[in-house]
């Protein structure tokens, strides 16, 4: 029997993976309870989407006082009973308090295969451009635990897609993006069901 995952989400814009995960949870496909959605951008569409589904939301700007924002985020996640944090296009580095409290319990999906196509500045279309420049036969997405270094934490799961002859970065990006939400949902379902364990 799956124990429902008590999820918190961090999103800066649309929160595409967050939306798919919430819909899977409400459809009974995924044993999960969305507890809180936080954005550094009070105009993020992700907040509006979550509020429309009755999930509590919070905007925490990070630029003026990063330490205060880190403390506020950690306390808000704890108060909501969040056990697993999902990054869904969250464009800010997390602070030490949140990273420490949720060590190996903050998951991100990266639109490339790690560790080869990750690191600071490797996000969005830049990843796909780098994959094409490297001439490799496949790309994909990697779900990893988040630590202090960009795209560095323990790898949880990965899924590949082919790089096709004549691919543009836009075409490869679309192929990876189409696969990501379902891959994230399946991985979370395996965690909920005890088939896949997170690092201690």
Give residue 150's pLDDT: 86
Give residue 2's pLDDT: 57
Distance, in Å, from the CA atom of 153 to the CA atom of 109, rounded to the nearest integer, reads: 11
The answer on pLDDT for 194 being more than 90 is yes
Give residue 196's pLDDT: 96
**Under 8 Å between Cβ of 114 and 149:** no
Distance, in Å, from the CA atom of 94 to the CA atom of 23, rounded to the nearest integer, reads: 26
Query: Mean pLDDT, the chain, as a whole number?
Result: 95
The catalytic position among 110, 128, 144, 152 is: 110
69 SS3 class: helix
Would you tell me how many other CB atoms lie within 10 Å of the CB of residue 1?
Answer: 6
> What is the mean pLDDT of the segment spanning 17-38?
97
The answer on pLDDT for 74 being more than 70 is yes
Give residue 87's pLDDT: 97
The answer on pLDDT for 56 being more than 70 is yes
Give residue 177's pLDDT: 95
The answer on pLDDT for 1 being more than 60 is no
Which neighbouring-strand residues pair with 142?
110, 158
pLDDT tens, residue by residue, 82-139: 999 999 999 888 999 999 999 999 999 999 999 999 998 898 999 999 999 999 999 9
> What is the mean pLDDT of the segment spanning 35-45?
97
Tokens encoding 160: 């590949």
Output the CA angle 149-172-136, nearest 5 degrees. Answer: 75
pLDDT above 70 coverage of the chain, percent: 99
Distance, in Å, from the CA atom of 69 to the CA atom of 59, rounded to the nearest integer, reads: 10
- Is the peptide bond between 115 and the residue preceding it cis, with omega within 30 degrees of 0? yes
Three-state helix/strand/coil letters over 40-98:
CCCCCHHHHHHHHCCCCEEECCCCCCHHHHHHHHHHHHHHCCCCEEEECCCCCCCCHHH
Query: 39, 50, 41, 36: which is closest to 8 by C-alpha?
Result: 36
pLDDT above 90 coverage of the chain, percent: 90
Output the CA angle 45-127-135, nearest 5 degrees. Answer: 150
Give residue 120's pLDDT: 87
pTM of the model: 0.95
Tokens encoding 71: 């403390």
> What is the mean pLDDT of the segment spanning 162-177?
97
Catalytic (active site) residue 110: yes
């Amino acid at each position: 029997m799956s124990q429902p995952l008590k999820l918190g989400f961090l999103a800066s814009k649309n929160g595409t993976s967050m939306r798919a995960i919430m819909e899977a949870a409400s459809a009974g496909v995924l044993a999960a309870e969305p507890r809180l959605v936080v954005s550094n951008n009070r105009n993020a569409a992700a907040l509006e989407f979550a509020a429309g589904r009755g999930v509590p939301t919070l905007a925490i700007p990070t630029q003026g006082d990063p330490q205060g924002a880190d403390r506020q985020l950690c306390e808000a996640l704890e108060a909501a009973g969040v056990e697993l944090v999902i990054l869904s296009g969250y464009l800010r580095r997390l602070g030490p308090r949140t990273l420490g409290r949720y060590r190996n319990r903050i998951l991100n999906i990266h639109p490339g295969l790690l560790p080869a196509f990750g690191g600071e500045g490797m996000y969005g279309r830049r990843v796909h451009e780098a994959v094409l420049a490297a001439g490799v036969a496949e790309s994909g997405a990697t779900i990893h635990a988040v630590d202090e270094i960009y795209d560095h934490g323990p790898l949880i799961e990965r899924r590949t897609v082919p790089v096709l002859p004549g691919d543009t970065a836009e075409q490869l990006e679309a192929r990876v993006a189409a696969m990501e939400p379902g891959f994230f949902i399946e991985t979370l379902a395996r965690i909920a069901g005890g088939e896949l364990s997170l690092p201690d």
